[in-house]
Chain A
Amino acid sequence: MKRWLIRSAVTLGLLLVGVMLTVWMLWIPSAVEPPYRFIQAWGERGTNPGQFNDPTGIAVTADEVFVSDSRNGRIQVFDHEGRFKRQFGSPGDKPGQLGRPMNLSIHENMLYIADYWNDRIQVFGLDGKYHHSIGSSGDGPGQFNSPGGVALNRKGELFVADFYNQRIQHLNADGSFVEQWGTTAEIGIWAEEFNYPTDVALGNDEQLLVADGYNDRIQVFDSSGKFRRKWGGPLAMNIFGPFPGWFATVTSVAVGPDDNVFVADFYNNRVQKYDSQGRFLTAFGRRGNGPGQFAYITAVAVAPDGTLFATDLGNNRVVSFRSPRKPQ
């Protein structure tokens, strides 16, 4: 009896080690690049210019940084060194007003804002002048239930992460419906299904990247709309974790100038970087309020020179990083 017990325990132990080794080898990749270096951080909690109350979205141009200052219902604009330049928008639901602005996108000198409470995409000039609005509340074609992020292709067509409708919508520039991925208001963990999608981005070859928020993964579709790949933890199907290549709620995705993919890994307080095929490259950031640390990272954006900017929700600040491989 004793011998049998020992044999069973040894077998079980070996099995466990085998499973752990398999998981490690298959789903815990090693970094192939050094982590990015912290450059600077700016901001604190408040309502004055340069202060934030829940920064949740970010977009950058060659010389400016646009930040969704969500609870303050405004967009703040800074230079790359964090010097305040201007602000626009106010809390509310009228045209040009903002109800919890989330992820941002810039296309042809226009700023596209996912207006989460008002179920619309609002479009402003980069100077802050209100231009027009796309969409309305609902679950029909071209309607939204809390849009989290938006991206535009070269033709000016929109791709919208429609958070509570559990889908990604593809719309013409005028907001008319083209197609959707996911079944409206149905959560799923398989490919082409979503679990509260938060953001979208387009790669240089116009492949569509979806931050599939609570599925803890990125899903990729090619320019014809066909599913291509997914990544994030074992089988990329809602298994979260702190390991490299795993996520714990994805809140933002951005594409850099070299077509690399950057992901805001919310609960893991870090940015993860991948190549366009989903190969893990590096990760940086950890929990805290010191340099290069986050109290929940919400959004990422990459400047044309490769500098990465991120919003740090709990510390109410913007943080910038640069690859040690890039000069400057």
Chain B
Amino acid sequence: MRALFFTLLLTMTWSPVTQAAETLYEIRVDGLACPYCAYGIEKKFMQRGIVKTFDMDFKKGLVKVTLKDGEEMTEPQLKQLFDEAGFSYRSVNKKAL
């Protein structure tokens, strides 16, 4: 019985959901100071319905996005999103939170 309990507990704590760590995407973009561009990028991210937090640093040309648990964006997906918003992004840096 005790073995079953610990097995269940272990299964629960190691499930993919609890394991999924949030990822912060720091994306460098040129010309972010224009709100039309900034809001365009933000709109494209929001339309995907996977964004948890979104922040922009106009001065540094940096977009900071965390996605909902278990969600991920690949570099080609990010490139496409920025293309649609009228940008070419320079680089992305992923950080596990």
Contacts and interface: CB of A to CB of B under 8 A. Distances in A.
Nearest to B86: A196
Given A196-B86, A314-B58, A164 B33 contact: no
Given A117-B43, A164-B86, A213 B36 contact: yes
A163 B42 CA distance: 15
A59 to B, nearest CB: 17
B14 interface: no
B43 A116 contact: yes
B33 A251 contact: no
Given A116-B43, A117-B43, A164-B86, A198 B36 contact: yes
B35 A146 contact: no
A17 B86 CA distance: 37
Interface string B33-70: 11110011011001000000000001000000000000
A117 B34 contact: no
A146 B37 CA distance: 11
A249 interface: yes
A196 B39 contact: no
A68 to B, nearest CB: 10
Interface in A147-190: 148, 163-164
Given A164-B86, A196-B86, A314-B58, A251 B34 contact: yes
Contacts of B35: 54, 56, 70, 100, 102, 251, 298, 313
B1 to A, nearest CB: 52
A55 to B, nearest CB: 10
Chain B interface mostly helix, strand, loop or mixed? helix
Given A116-B43, A117-B39, A146-B43, A267 B33 contact: yes
B34 A249 contact: yes
A144 interface: no
A266 B34 contact: yes
Given A196-B86, A314-B58, A163 B43 contact: no
Interface in A49-64: 54, 56
Nearest to A166: B86
A314 B58 CA distance: 9
A296 interface: yes
A296 B33 contact: yes
Contacts of B46: 117
Contacts of A266: 33-34
Contacts of B40: 146, 163-164
Contacts of A164: 40, 86
A100 B36 CA distance: 10
Name which of B39, B40, B58 has the most chain A CB atoms within 10 A of its CB: B39
Contacts of A196: 36, 86
Contacts of A56: 35
A187 to B, nearest CB: 9
A148 B36 contact: yes
B36 A251 contact: yes
Contacts of A198: 36
23 contacts: A54-B35, A56-B35, A70-B35, A70-B39, A100-B39, A102-B35, A116-B43, A117-B39, A117-B43, A146-B40, A146-B43, A196-B86, A213-B34, A249-B34, A251-B35, A266-B33, A266-B34, A267-B33, A267-B34, A296-B34, A313-B33, A314-B33, A314-B58
Given A99-B43, A298-B35, A314-B58, 10 more contacts: A54-B35, A70-B35, A117-B46, A148-B36, A163-B36, A164-B86, A251-B34, A267-B33, A296-B34, A313-B35
Nearest first, the 6 closest Cβ-Cβ pairs linking A and B are: A100-B39, A117-B43, A56-B35, A296-B33, A116-B39, A249-B34
Interface of A: 54, 56, 70, 99-100, 102, 116-117, 146, 148, 163-164, 196, 198, 213, 249, 251, 266-267, 296, 298, 313-314
